[in-house]
Amino acid sequence: MLKPTDIANPDYFHKVVDCQWACPAHTPVPEYIRLIAHGRYSDAYMINWKSNVFPGILGRTCDRPCEPACRRSRVEDETLVKGKKEPVAICRLKRVAADYKDDDDINSKMPKAAEKNGRRVACIGGGPSSLTVARDLAVLGYEIVIYDQDPKLGGFIRTQIPHFRLPESVIDEEVGYITGIGNIEFRHQRVDSLKAVLAEGYDAVFVGSGAPRGRDLDVPGRKEAGANIHIGLDWLSSVSFGHIDKVGKRVIVLGGGNTAMDCCRTARRLGGEDVKVIVRSGFDEMKASPWEKEDAIGEDIPILNMLVPKEVRHEGGKIKGVVFEKVVAKYDDKGRRSLVPSGEPDEFHECDDVLVAIGQENAFPWIEKDAGIEFDKWGLPQLNEKTFASTHPKVFFGGDAAFGPKNIIWAAAHGHEAATSIHKMLIGENPEERPAPGVNVASQKMGIHEWSYDNAPTIDHRLKVPHRPKKEALKDIMAEVELGFDPQLAFKEAQRCLNCDVQTVFTGQLCIECDACVDICPMDCITFTENGEEKDLRTRLTAPAMNPTQDLYIGDGLKTQRVMVKDEDVCLHCGLCAERCPTGAWDMRKYYIEMTHAEHACRKQ
């Protein structure tokens, strides 16, 4: 027998907001999308800024874990959307908030540093995780010192992402919002010793140094032709700082991740005419985001797969090309994949330059063996996954330095957690006790049939973000390719959001079991039936509940001793159940769930 759902547990309805639940920083997505639809860009920006710190940057570059989770992609009707169910373009809507916000308004809304509390925190590395820690702690009065080897803050955001995807002005602006808080000192200084930093007497040290080492290629000829073989990470960084401004006509990019996509598209803009990406694995298994692959292909860059580099051919120190062995994927009994030679003749591809983007590694040569930091067998620090504390009582980790290479949004999420831990530790609380999220519940009922949100779901298909014409885009490495949604397109796309944070809340004591909600529900999500085991119950609903990752909402208190079962999976949050309910047993209530950061760290669970 299933127990009645405990809707007082903030996680229950948080999970229903699939996008927010999937976002590492748990950004209240539907709330800001509604604000965008209303043209309240600055408010939408601030909601983002609070959660993920870099709305303008993430609105262009995020890996978007929210989008595959979006309910919209499960409920669209193929026949109405040209055969393809698609999520709301959450990421690009975020950019709209950043593009159209009122800068004066934003500046007036930005927090200012509190009076100094006498504690000092060092952040090693100037990337997104360190900046998040700095932001969360500076407003509490901590004095923050950020160390970075590069002349400007931003870390990989600045050095790895080409400017045609992310203009530098956006980075400057959003880094500026953080440093503008005050109490934050930037030292352009490479850290070579953790012990030396600790010796400066900081109360806590946050390590957000990233995963800065690009993996190298280990094949015959690598050394001899070295002048024309570049590590992708370093090459992108040099391009970003203007140290490199051209490349050969024929370029091979090795690797299938997002760095490879950035390398090949950058090469196209620096004189590369015949640029191709060559990957070991199959096209579908590539690590790059599907949209980044799409953009690369759109710039005439072929992606060749199932080819393993075997040898670099060279003549008199000059590169000729790369020999590849053709492979096929074989799966063993356990489904593990291995790439085995196909037996076909090797392929030779001529080139003038090779960019190696086959992965990146963590490297902590600057952390002394006896500094008190333990590492695991993969060379990553041993961390408490909840608090991000290392084995050294004063040292915390976050971002790529913590659990290996991930996206910016993870770095922001880590930064919030680490900042909370640091603050709790320094005020004498136990960092293991994490603060509960703030939850605000409000009925959206405005009248008998009126709701404070647009409850009618649209059937529009996903809108494409306008791009700069290819010819123009390839000419100028500084010209941003994506132009972003304009307000009209943004409104249309925003209306595709189903408002999943406006929850269907059921009160069994009020229900007269008239079936009105069952009859009106367009998705057949509601059933009144005898309780049972979940597996059995899922099969005997009005429509079967086929997605076990989505909860069943169980409501009790009915006169017939039956239970109300609602399958959250495909609910449109259209509110028709509440509209047709004669007794108010159903109500549409907005659950605004906001993660607790360092400033409310003492909020108890």
Partner 1 sequence: MTYIAKPRLHHPSLVKNKAGFTRRDYEGAVSTLCAGCGHDSISAAIIQACYELDILPHQVAKLSGIGCSSKAPTYFVGASHGFNTVHGRMPSVMTGANLANRDLIYMGVSGDGDSASIGLGQFAHVMRRGVNMTYIVMNNGVYGLTKGQFSATADKGSISKKGVSNPDSSIDMVSLAILMGATFVGRSFSGDKHQLVPLIKAAMDHKGAAFLDVISPCVAFNNHAGSTKSYDYVREHNEALNRIDFIETREEITTSYDPGTTKIVRQHDGSILRLRKLGEDYDPSDKVAAVKRVQEGLHAGEVVTGLLYVDPTPSDLHANLNTVDVPLNTLNAPELCPGTSALDKINASLR
Figure out which of the listed residues 111, 437, 518, 600 binds partner 1, where binding follows CB under 8 A: 518
Figure out which of the listed residues 162, 398, 405, 457 binds partner 1, where binding follows CB under 8 A: 457
Cβ nearer to partner 1, comparing 312 with 578: 578
Binding status of residue 574 toward partner 1 by CB under 8 A? yes
331: helix, strand or coil: strand
Which of these, 57, 42, 213, 185, lies nearest to 128 by C-alpha position?
Answer: 57
Given the structure tokens 């390719």, which residue do they identify? 481
Binding status of residue 515 toward partner 1 by CB under 8 A? yes
Site string for partner 1, 361-400 (x = CB under 8 A): ----------------------------------------
By CB under 8 A, which span of 13-21, 223-231, 573-581, 587-595 interacts with partner 1?
Answer: 573-581
| Beta carbons within 8 Å of 15's beta carbon, 6+ residues apart | 21, 551, 568
Helix (H) or strand (E) holding 304: strand 303-304
511: helix, strand or coil: coil
By CB under 8 A, which span of 195-203, 464-472, 577-585, 594-602 interacts with partner 1?
Answer: 577-585
By CB under 8 A, which span of 179-187, 285-293, 373-381, 518-526 interacts with partner 1?
Answer: 518-526
Which of these, 383, 428, 395, lies nearest to 203 by C-alpha position?
Answer: 395
Inter-CA distances, 413 with 24, 52, 53, 93, Å: 6, 7, 9, 20
CB atoms within 10 A of CB 201: 8
Pairing of strands 353-356, 347-350: unpaired
Figure out which of the listed residues 133, 194, 576, 593 binds partner 1, where binding follows CB under 8 A: 576
CB atoms within 10 A of CB 453: 18
Torsion over CA: 490, 492, 493, 495 (sign): positive
Quick check: 576 and 569 in contact, CB under 8 A? Answer: no
Binding status of residue 558 toward partner 1 by CB under 8 A? no
Which of these, 433, 456, 453, lies nearest to 443 by C-alpha position?
Answer: 453
Given the structure tokens 């209306």, which residue do they identify? 495
Provide the minimum distance between the beta carbon of 591 and partner 1 in the complex, in angstroms, as a whole number: 22
How many residues bind to partner 1 according to rule CB under 8 A?
38
Helix, strand, coil shares of the chain as percentages rounded to 5?
35, 20, 45
Which of these, 407, 434, 437, 404, lies nearest to 418 by C-alpha position?
Answer: 434
For 296, phi and psi rounded to 5 degrees?
Answer: -65, -45
Site string for partner 1, 480-499 (x = CB under 8 A): --------------------
Provide the minimum distance between the beta carbon of 507 and partner 1 in the complex, in angstroms, as a whole number: 15
Binding status of residue 514 toward partner 1 by CB under 8 A? yes
Give the integer Cα–Cα distance in Å for 348 and 354: 13
Cβ nearer to partner 1, comparing 53 with 526: 526
Binding status of residue 512 toward partner 1 by CB under 8 A? yes
Binding status of residue 519 toward partner 1 by CB under 8 A? yes
Cβ nearer to partner 1, comparing 110 with 543: 543
Give the integer Cα–Cα distance in Å for 529 and 526: 10
By CB under 8 A, which span of 104-112, 123-131, 264-272, 516-524 interacts with partner 1?
Answer: 516-524
By CB under 8 A, which span of 192-200, 213-221, 304-312, 543-551 interacts with partner 1?
Answer: 543-551
Which of these, 6, 4, 97, lies nearest to 484 by C-alpha position?
Answer: 97
Single-letter amino acid, residue 557: G
Cβ nearer to partner 1, comparing 16 with 408: 16
Figure out which of the listed residues 341, 393, 522, 548 binds partner 1, where binding follows CB under 8 A: 522
Figure out which of the listed residues 234, 375, 543, 592 binds partner 1, where binding follows CB under 8 A: 543
Inter-CA distances, 540 with 214, 514, 553, Å: 53, 19, 15
Torsion over CA: 266, 270, 275, 278 (sign): negative
For every residue of 468-493, DSSP letters joined together read --HHHHHH-TTS-SB----HHHHHHH
Cβ nearer to partner 1, comparing 129 with 455: 455
Helix (H) or strand (E) holding 112: none
Binding status of residue 502 toward partner 1 by CB under 8 A? no
Site string for partner 1, 434-453 (x = CB under 8 A): --------------xxx---
Which of these, 397, 423, 493, lies nearest to 91 by C-alpha position?
Answer: 493
Provide the minimum distance between the beta carbon of 73 and partner 1 in the complex, in angstroms, as a whole number: 11
* Binders in 55-94 for partner 1, by CB under 8 A: 74-77, 80
Cβ nearer to partner 1, comparing 393 with 544: 544
Cβ nearer to partner 1, comparing 489 with 516: 516
Single-letter amino acid, residue 97: A
Cβ nearer to partner 1, comparing 72 with 394: 72
| Beta carbons within 8 Å of 167's beta carbon, 6+ residues apart | 478, 480
**What's the start-to-end Cα distance of the chain, in Å?**
28
Quick check: 2 and 554 in contact, CB under 8 A? Answer: yes
Figure out which of the listed residues 456, 478, 483, 602 binds partner 1, where binding follows CB under 8 A: 456
* Binders in 144-173 for partner 1, by CB under 8 A: none
Binding status of residue 579 toward partner 1 by CB under 8 A? yes
Binding status of residue 516 toward partner 1 by CB under 8 A? yes
By CB under 8 A, which span of 107-115, 240-248, 579-587, 595-603 interacts with partner 1?
Answer: 579-587
Give the integer Cα–Cα distance in Å for 313 and 322: 6
Provide the minimum distance between the beta carbon of 70 and partner 1 in the complex, in angstroms, as a whole number: 14
Cβ nearer to partner 1, comparing 75 with 198: 75
Cβ nearer to partner 1, comparing 463 with 510: 510
Provide the minimum distance between the beta carbon of 534 and partner 1 in the complex, in angstroms, as a whole number: 18
Provide the minimum distance between the beta carbon of 89 and partner 1 in the complex, in angstroms, as a whole number: 18
Figure out which of the listed residues 341, 544, 602, 603 binds partner 1, where binding follows CB under 8 A: 544
Provide the minimum distance between the beta carbon of 543 and partner 1 in the complex, in angstroms, as a whole number: 4
Binding stretches for partner 1 (CB under 8 A): 74-77, 80, 448-450, 455-457, 459, 512-516, 518-520, 522-525, 543-544, 546, 559-560, 570, 572, 574, 576, 579-583
